Structures are given as C-alpha cells and as structure tokens.
Amino acid sequence: MDLHGVCHHLLLCNGKSCISNGAETVTKAIRKDIRDQNLTDTIHTTKTLCNGQCKYGPIVVLYPQGYWYRSMTPTLGKALVGSIGTHHPLKQSLLYSYARKGFRSELF
C-alpha cells in the first residue's frame, strides 16, 4: 500500500476484550464510513491486537493527533471519522490525549 498523502492513521484494537465488546463491528463501520466519505487517500486504518486498555474497549487510537478513544460504537466511529479534519477531538469518548510532555488522562 502506498501511504503517500495519508494524513491520519486509526489503530483499531481487535484484541480479545475489545472483540467481545464489539470491536469487529466498529472496525467495519469505521472503514465503511471512510470509504463512503471518500477519505481512503487521507485516512489509513490498521487492526491491532491488544492496546492494554481492555476495561475501556473497544479502543481506537488516532495519529498523529495522539487521541485514544474508549467505548467506541459504530455511531461514535462515524462521528470520529467526521471529526478528524476539524482538529477537535470527539470529547464524549476521549480516553487519553497527547500533550507536549506526554499522554494525559481525559477521564474526569
């Protein structure tokens, strides 16, 4: 695959706990939304194994922004895809965000 022009990378956890919480459905929905919005040239997705945040799954990580999202659903996935170009994170499911000195928890 040629990644030239790709600006965003979504890591879609498909580890055991995330799968049991619907990660495969979330993965399919996000990939469909990316195709439907003609964003396949700018958003790349990768299915991963466990990201170590099992109690919050399904987990989706957005780079280069460094946003970690928790409890993803197909509906939240669609909202996430729509928010990617806006530079505003999807607040309702944000787990961690990256600041200059490292990641910080968004659970308050």
Task: Give pLDDT tens digits for 1-19.
Answer: 788 999 999 999 999 999 9
pLDDT in tens, 68-103: 999 999 999 999 999 998 878 888 899 999 988 899
CATH code for position 46: 3.40.30.10
* Assigned domain for 66 exists: yes
User: What's the token pair of residue 60?
Assistant: 């989706």
- The answer to the question of residue 57 being in a domain is yes
Q: Answer whether residue 21 is part of any domain.
A: yes
**pLDDT, tens digit (0-9, with 9 covering 90-100), for 33-70:** 999 999 999 999 999 999 999 999 999 999 999 999 99
CA distances from 87 to 1, 25, 68, 90 (A): 26, 26, 14, 10
Q: Is 77 within a domain?
A: yes
The number of domains in the chain is 1
Which among 93, 89, 1, 88 is positioned nearest to 40, based on CA atoms? 1
60 φ, ψ (degrees, to nearest 5): -130, 130
Asked if the structure places residue 1 within a domain, the reply is no
Please indicate, yes or no, if residue 3 is contained in any of the structural domains.
no
Q: Which domain holds residue 97?
A: 8-105
